[in-house]
């Protein structure tokens, strides 16, 4: 039996991320370390357990059969470690001092939360916030975030989730665009022939992009971004027509349609149930809920 004394349990996280990313550089970027550190930590784990986990090449990492067998066990161990650390947090002196990490979508951070952070700092000067806008959903059980805000219902076990608001959308264009190309005659039925701006192909199934696909040709989607802020900027610059949350569309834009036939998105916020008694996490959760409900009401 291998000696546990030789093993650094944090190396399991490097193993899990390497298997997920399929490359040293991808895993290193996700963990915020250098590729050299990533390689060293994998070497260290392989030496400790006496098993080769990956075949490494210039094209990426290929998990060995042994790694495939061990991966689920590694994830299970990491979940237990995360449970232990959350319990330790909950049993520590409970005050408003420490770090809280939030994962959320960029529109909320840019338009609604950052303008109110000076107010938060006045209330809780000893709480340090980290906000991450990530394209993939972060599991709260992984301790990658303390609080998550999504435009989708949470399906994870053991989370406390609350619906914050419903985002309503509008179809908008800038007057400069309309002066050059005119407005769609029937925006609810046919947008073909107009320059459309939307999320990139990874998000084709989300309601507002799917709505555009039904009413236009793929070739009409002339500008595609991974960022809601970039879409908004392009529409405001007169580059084309786009669907935007009503709350971020400025008076400078012309609403082509803002009725009920456009899709809506519910905004949800959640924390892991083990964190609900930690004062700093609860304070951030309550503050975000307060300001978002206030600003997103009647949107």
Give the pair of three-digit tokens for residue 25: 């550089």
SS3 call for 127? strand
Residues 248 and 172 in one domain: yes
Q: Where are the alpha helices (DSSP H) in 150-227?
A: 175-181, 207-215
Query: Where is 5: in which H helix or E strand?
Result: none
Query: Where is 297: in which H helix or E strand?
Result: none
pTM: 0.69
Residues 201 and 253 in one domain: yes
Contact 173, 183 (CB under 8 A): yes
Number of domains in the chain: 3
Give the pair of three-digit tokens for residue 199: 């999320």
Distance (Å) of CA 71 to CA 7, 9, 15, 65, 156 = 16, 14, 8, 10, 20
CATH number, residue 49:
1.10.10.10
Asked which of 68, 91, 114 is the last residue of a domain, the reply is 91
Residues 105 and 35 in one domain: no
Contact 64, 52 (CB under 8 A): yes
Asked which of 91, 119, 149 is the last residue of a domain, the reply is 91
Residues 178 and 39 in one domain: no
| pLDDT of amino acid 1 | 44
pLDDT digits (tens, 9 = 90+) for 145-175: 899 999 888 988 889 999 999 999 999 999 9
Residues 149 and 224 in one domain: no
Q: Name residues of the chain where pLDDT drops below 50.
A: 1
pLDDT digits (tens, 9 = 90+) for 71-106: 888 888 877 777 776 666 665 556 778 899 999 988
Residues 279 and 154 in one domain: yes
Give the pair of three-digit tokens for residue 138: 């972060």
Domain encompassing residue 225? 166-263
| pLDDT of amino acid 135 | 59
Residues 25 and 69 in one domain: yes
């Amino acid at each position: 039996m291998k000696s546990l004394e030789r093993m650094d349990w944090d190396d399991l996280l490097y193993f899990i991320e390497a298997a997920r990313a399929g490359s040293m550089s991808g895993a290193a970027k996700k963990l915020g370390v250098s590729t050299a550190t990533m390689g060293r930590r994998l070497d260290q784990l392989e030496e400790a357990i006496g098993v080769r986990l990956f075949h490494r090449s210039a094209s990426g990492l290929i998990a060995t059969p042994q790694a495939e067998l061990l991966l689920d066990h590694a994830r299970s161990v990491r979940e237990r470690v995360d449970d232990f650390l959350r319990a330790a947090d909950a049993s520590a002196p409970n005050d408003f001092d420490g770090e809280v990490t939030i994962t959320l979508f960029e529109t909320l951070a840019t338009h609604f939360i950052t303008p109110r952070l000076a107010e938060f700092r006045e209330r809780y000067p000893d709480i340090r916030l980290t906000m991450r806008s990530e394209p993939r959903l972060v599991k709260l059980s992984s301790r990658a975030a303390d609080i998550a805000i999504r435009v989708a219902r949470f399906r994870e076990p053991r989370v406390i989730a609350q619906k914050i608001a419903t985002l309503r959308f509008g179809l908008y264009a800038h007057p400069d665009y309309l002066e050059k190309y005119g407005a769609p005659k029937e925006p609810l039925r046919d947008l073909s022939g107009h320059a459309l701006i939307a999320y990139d192909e990874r998000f084709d199934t989300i309601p507002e992009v799917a709505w555009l696909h039904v009413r236009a040709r793929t070739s009409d989607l002339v500008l595609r971004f991974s960022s809601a802020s970039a879409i908004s900027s392009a529409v405001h610059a007169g580059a084309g027509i786009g669907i935007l949350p009503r709350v971020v569309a400025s008076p400078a834009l012309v609403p082509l349609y803002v009725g009920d036939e456009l899709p809506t998105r519910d905004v949800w916020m959640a924390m892991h149930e083990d964190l609900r008694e930690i004062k700093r996490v609860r304070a951030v959760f309550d503050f975000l809920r307060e300001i978002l409900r206030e600003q997103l009401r009647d949107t």
